[in-house]
Amino acid sequence: MKRIAIFPGSFDPFTKGHEDIVLRGLTLFDDIIVAIGYNSGKSQRYFPVEFMVEKIKETFKNQPSISVQTFSELTAEFAKRNKARYLLRGLRNTTDFEYENSISQVNRNLNPELESVFLITSPAFAAISSSIIREVHRYKGDVSSMIPYKL
Ligand code: ADP
């Protein structure tokens, strides 16, 4: 049976930190679905969701085991529908840990077969966040060193 993982997030935008988690995840899983969740809480996006789907596809165009989808339902439901038994997430710091800890408990309750797997960020990418990129981009700063594609 194939080991399918989903890597869910807002990805507004997708960063080199996210890319690193996905590529490292490939050593653990056969297929990874990058799943852009939209409309839950953070409904006002900076980068349109269709635009980000194209950019992530472009980033992984040479990796057939990585696909991209959007979803607007519970992550646990999306995973079940896609036969994914693993939920991949990245951890940068204790703030991420606190947040991830509580959502993984909720996801486990909603779908007991879904195992959350956490990868600690690579030091080179620890300082990268989507919110910093949005802020720099908003004021016309250069974000090219933080994203794996051209805007
Ligand atoms: P969410 O809105 O669900 O937190 P994000 O798009 O911000 O989604 O992040 C998706 C996942 O990637 C989360 O697990 C987050 O902790 C992780 N992540 C974000 N930035 C980095 C980074 N620089 N290095 C490693 N993991 C990261």
Q: Whose CA is nearest to atom 2 of ligand 1?
A: 10
Q: State the Cα torsion 21-24-28-29 to the nearest 10°.
A: 60
Q: Whose CA is nearest to atom 12 of ligand 1?
A: 90
Tens-place pLDDT, residues 81-100: 999 999 999 999 999 999 99
Predicted TM-score (pTM) of this structure: 0.95
Cβ 90 under 6 angstroms from ligand 1: yes
CA of 7 to the centre of ligand 1 (A): 9
Please report which residue ranges of 61-93 form alpha helices under DSSP H.
Answer: 75-81
Asked if 75 contacts 35 with a C-beta cutoff of 8 angstroms, the reply is yes
Catalytic entry in 92, 108, 134, 137: 92
Residues 57-73, mean pLDDT to the nearest whole number: 97
- Mutate which of 36, 96, 100, 145 for ligand 1? The one with the most ligand atoms within 8 Å of its CB, which is 96
3: pLDDT strictly greater than 70: yes
Cβ 75 under 6 angstroms from ligand 1: no
Does residue 131 have an active-site annotation?
A: no
Classify the phi-psi angles of 45: left when phi > 0, otherwise alpha if psi is within -120 to 50, otherwise beta.
beta
Tens-place pLDDT, residues 24-62: 999 999 999 999 998 755 568 999 999 999 999 999 999
Domains and CATH numbers, the chain: 4-138 (3.40.50.620)
